[in-house]
């Protein structure tokens, strides 16, 4: 083996990245390496075990909106500089299965951005591995069936073991670069999600009357994004849509307000923005036909900002009216995640 010590830092919402980290750690232990598995939830300081010459440091992270979660970026930027330490990046991304075919997710900048930061910190990148573990983005689709999850997991565990074997033997693996052209193409979406999309999604989660105030979601939230406002759960803009709260709620009381969120989008883009445009035209402030392309791009940022601002204000209203039974029932039953077919995601435990 090329290394004597393996350090793995991981962040995981529902368990995919954690399980991948556990696989690698277990494999390394079997080869006699000293191992450290470090969860970066709610981190205040970056703790680094003593670094020996033959040390490999890994980062196992999920992919959110074709990017890495902000907590991971913050952790990487705070990581102390090193000198010629080997490292690898493994990102889990939304894999699916259609009949017998395994469908890959997309990384976007979830590999490229961490690799750039780490190289600036003095690391040598010796491995870049995307891992298509099951998609768990319950905003958009129900959790996959257990049979499909197990099938995807069995396939991915073999991929991880092969990746770990190559790294520990001193070989370099850059599997992530195979999808580089497509990943580069979705960078605009990555940027849009990081600066806009995640803030809108943070305001789509609600706690229904099924909530028993056990506060498990509050204590489990890895970024401390959930707090109590007027004795009801409130999701702040710190929320990273990791879905841990949705999956850990024993009462299945946390839902995605699909109906309400859809209504907000319609109000903003069908009513509010056209009204603003008409006012600007009326006072000869805006003439879209004569504006430059740069102005059009700036206008799209303005409209998106309006959506986020209106979403924040409406979420305050939603939080207020949810204390009334009739409003609570209407909002709850207009959510797809209320119904049994909208399964929660349950990964295998290791």
**Is residue 349 assigned to a domain?**
no
> pLDDT confidence of 138, banded at 50, 70, 90?
confident
**Is residue 19 assigned to a domain?**
yes
Neighbours of 156 (CB within 10 A): 21
The answer to whether the beta carbons of residues 49 and 6 sit under 8 Å apart is no
219 has a pLDDT exceeding 70: yes
Instruction: List the domain range (segments joined by +) for residue 320.
Output: 198-338
**Is residue 107 assigned to a domain?**
yes
Domain boundary among 160, 184, 208: 184
Q: Do 124 and 70 have their domain in common?
A: yes
The answer to whether the beta carbons of residues 138 and 342 sit under 8 Å apart is yes
Q: Do 277 and 222 have their domain in common?
A: yes
CATH classification at residue 13: 3.40.50.360
According to the model, what pLDDT value does residue 3 have?
Answer: 93
Q: Do 179 and 215 have their domain in common?
A: no
What residues have CB less than 8 Å from 21, skipping those under 6 apart? Answer: 8, 10, 12, 37, 58, 60, 90
> pLDDT confidence of 311, banded at 50, 70, 90?
confident
For the segment 185-213, the average pLDDT, to the nearest whole number, is 91
CATH classification at residue 202: 3.30.70.20
Question: Which DSSP state fits 176?
Answer: G
Domains of the chain: total: 2
> pLDDT confidence of 290, banded at 50, 70, 90?
low
Q: Do 171 and 229 have their domain in common?
A: no
User: Mind listing the pLDDT tens digit for each residue in 78-113?
Assistant: 999 999 899 999 999 989 998 889 999 999 999 999
Tally the C-alpha atoms within 13 A of residue 158's C-alpha that lie toward its C-beta: 5
Q: Which residue has the higher pLDDT, 312 or 32?
A: 32
For the segment 187-194, the average pLDDT, to the nearest whole number, is 91
Phi/psi for 174 (5° steps) reads: -125, 55
Cα(115)–Cα(191) distance, integer angstroms: 17
The answer to whether the beta carbons of residues 109 and 72 sit under 8 Å apart is no
Residue with tokens 């909002």: 331
Structure tokens at 67: 């990017």
Q: Is the dihedral of CA 34, 125, 105, 246 positive or negative?
A: positive
Cα(306)–Cα(273) distance, integer angstroms: 8
Three-class SS of residue 131?
strand
What residues have CB less than 8 Å from 69, skipping those under 6 apart? Answer: 11, 61, 62, 240, 242
Q: Among 20, 70, 292, which residue's Cα sits nearest to residue 197?
A: 70
Cα(101)–Cα(148) distance, integer angstroms: 11
Q: Do 124 and 174 have their domain in common?
A: yes
60 DSSP β-pair partners:
10, 90
User: Mind listing the pLDDT tens digit for each residue in 236-245?
Assistant: 999 998 999 9
148 has a pLDDT exceeding 80: yes
Q: What angle do CA 118, 5, 73 make, to 5 degrees?
A: 25
Phi/psi for 297 (5° steps) reads: -65, -40
User: Mind listing the pLDDT tens digit for each residue in 30-55?
Assistant: 999 999 999 999 999 999 998 888 99
Q: Do 43 and 142 have their domain in common?
A: yes
């Amino acid at each position: 083996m090329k290394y004597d010590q393996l350090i793995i830092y991981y962040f995981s919402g529902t368990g995919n990245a954690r399980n991948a980290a556990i696989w690698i750690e277990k494999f390394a232990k079997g080869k006699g390496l000293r191992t450290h598995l470090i969860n970066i939830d709610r981190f205040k300081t970056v703790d680094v075990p003593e670094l020996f010459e033959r040390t490999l440091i890994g980062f196992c992270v999920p992919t959110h909106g074709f990017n890495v979660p902000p907590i991971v970026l913050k952790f990487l930027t705070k990581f102390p500089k090193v000198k010629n330490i080997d490292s690898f990046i493994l990102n889990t991304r939304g894999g699916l299965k259609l009949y017998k075919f395994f469908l890959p997710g997309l990384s976007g900048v979830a590999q490229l951005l961490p690799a750039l930061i780490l190289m600036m910190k003095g690391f040598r990148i010796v491995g870049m591995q995307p891992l298509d573990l099951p998609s768990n983005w319950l905003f958009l689709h129900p959790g996959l069936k257990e049979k499909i999850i197990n099938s995807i997991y069995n396939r991915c565990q073999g991929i991880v073991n092969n990746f770990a074997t190559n790294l520990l033997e001193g070989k370099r693996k850059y599997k992530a670069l195979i999808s580089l052209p497509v990943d580069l193409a979705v960078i605009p979406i990555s940027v849009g999600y990081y600066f806009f999309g995640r803030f809108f999604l943070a305001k789509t989660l609600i706690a229904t009357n099924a909530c028993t105030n056990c506060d498990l979601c509050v204590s489990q939230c890895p970024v401390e994004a959930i707090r109590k406002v007027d004795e009801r759960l409130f999701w702040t803009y710190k929320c990273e849509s990791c879905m841990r709260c949705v999956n850990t709620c024993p009462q299945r009381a946390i839902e995605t307000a699909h109906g309400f969120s859809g209504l907000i989008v319609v109000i903003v883009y069908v009513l509010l923005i056209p009204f603003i445009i008409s006012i600007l035209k009326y006072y000869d402030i805006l003439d879209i036909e004569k504006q430059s392309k740069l102005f059009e791009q700036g206008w799209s940022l303005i409209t998106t900002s309006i959506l986020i601002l209106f979403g924040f204000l409406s979420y305050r209203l939603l939080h207020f009216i949810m204390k009334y039974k009739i409003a609570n029932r209407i909002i709850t039953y207009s959510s797809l995640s209320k119904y049994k077919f909208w399964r929660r995601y349950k990964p295998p435990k290791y």
